[in-house]
Amino acid sequence: MTGFGTANFENERLRVSVEVKTLNSKFLDANVRLPRSFSDKEIEVRNLLTDQLVRGKAYFGLEVAEVGSEEPKAKINKSLVDAYYKDLLAVAPIGTNPADLFKFALEMPGTVESVGDNKDALEEDWALIKKVAKEALEACNAFRQKEGDVLEQKLLEYISNIENNLSQIIEEDARRVEAVRERIRTKIDELKVDVDENRFEQELVYYIEKLDIAEEKVRLKNHLDHFREEVASKKDSGKKLGFISQEIGREINTIGSKANDAVLQRLVVGMKEELEKIKEQALNIL
């Protein structure tokens, strides 16, 4: 979900600049910075981000400047400042610097008033600004799409690596079962005791069944195929890929716990390394 987009517009009256940046996050966490004259539009901006970005740690910055105007955009309410100053002077300790009191009076609510803020004009400006904001969001999503195309190839590469290890596990599994049988037979022979062959075979079958990974191999292959299908679908499936990754991890862990073989354990470790890469990158998918 890493992305970046900007859009700018300028006419004879306004200069508008919008910047959007996104980083990876499970949810939408938006930081919105607006000029004071459009602070009442924050909820509308957040709704726009939710619709366009879905999720991610997002920054939305808007800068608006009037072009070619030298008229002051604010005026001081002199009577109100005077009233504040007199009240402060009445309660201030003896020896207080009058300049400090005057500074405090200027910072009191309502002392500075905006001028020329026509409501209809502001709404007209906002319609224009909103259009520029959508352009910036589209640019950001286009950036994210390019990142996603690269990420898709990486995910498929990781899945292929897991599948290659699984193929080796399938080949080694037949050898492993025979090796277990021979190892147990060797230990029995070393003890030099008489063994009921029928009972020995029954116990051996029971023991080997505990080490059997046939079901895990099939389920893991199905999960890998399912993962590929979701990636190919191009849907908003980041969370779903995360769930499939959990199922892949469950089968890999079970194979590892049943392996009882050094070669299989090395292959399992390799699969876990690739799976961790998948889990990390899946967070970057919407």
When computed from its CA atoms, the radius of gyration of the chain, rounded to whole angstroms, is 34
Residues 200-255 have pLDDT tens digits of: 777 776 677 778 888 999 999 999 999 999 998 877 678 889 899 999 999 999 99
Domain ranges of the chain: 3-70+118-144, 74-106, 147-282
Question: Quick check: 11 pLDDT over 60?
Answer: yes
What proportion of the chain, given as a percentage, has pLDDT over 70?
A: 93
Question: Quick check: 71 pLDDT over 60?
Answer: no
Which structure tokens are listed for 239?
């969370």
72 band by pLDDT with thresholds 50, 70 and 90: low
Spatial distance between the Cα atoms of 258 and 250, rounded to a whole number of angstroms: 12
73 band by pLDDT with thresholds 50, 70 and 90: low
Question: Quick check: 164 pLDDT over 80?
Answer: yes
Question: Quick check: 117 pLDDT over 60?
Answer: no
pLDDT of residue 69: 57
Which residues make Cβ contacts (< 8 Å) with residue 64, sequence separation at least 6? 14, 15, 16, 17, 35, 37, 38, 125, 129
CATH code for residues 3-70+118-144: 3.30.230
CA distances from 282 to 141, 142, 149, 242 (A): 17, 19, 13, 6
pLDDT of residue 184: 75
pLDDT of residue 74: 62
Which structure tokens are listed for 50?
């939710």
What rounded mean pLDDT belongs to the chain?
A: 86
Q: How many residues does the chain have?
A: 286
**pTM for the whole structure:** 0.66
DSSP of 3-46: EEEEEEEE-SSEEEEEEEEEE--SSEEEEEE--GGGGGGHHHHH
pLDDT of residue 6: 96
Residues 20-43 have pLDDT tens digits of: 999 988 788 999 999 888 888 999
Look at phi and psi of residue 110 and say left if phi exceeds 0, alpha if psi is from -120 to 50, else beta: left
Half-sphere exposure of 141 (CA within 13 A, CB side): 14
pLDDT of residue 14: 87
What proportion of the chain, given as a percentage, has pLDDT over 90?
A: 43
Question: Quick check: 266 pLDDT over 90?
Answer: yes
Quick one: average pLDDT of 56-66?
91
Which structure tokens are listed for 34?
């607006």
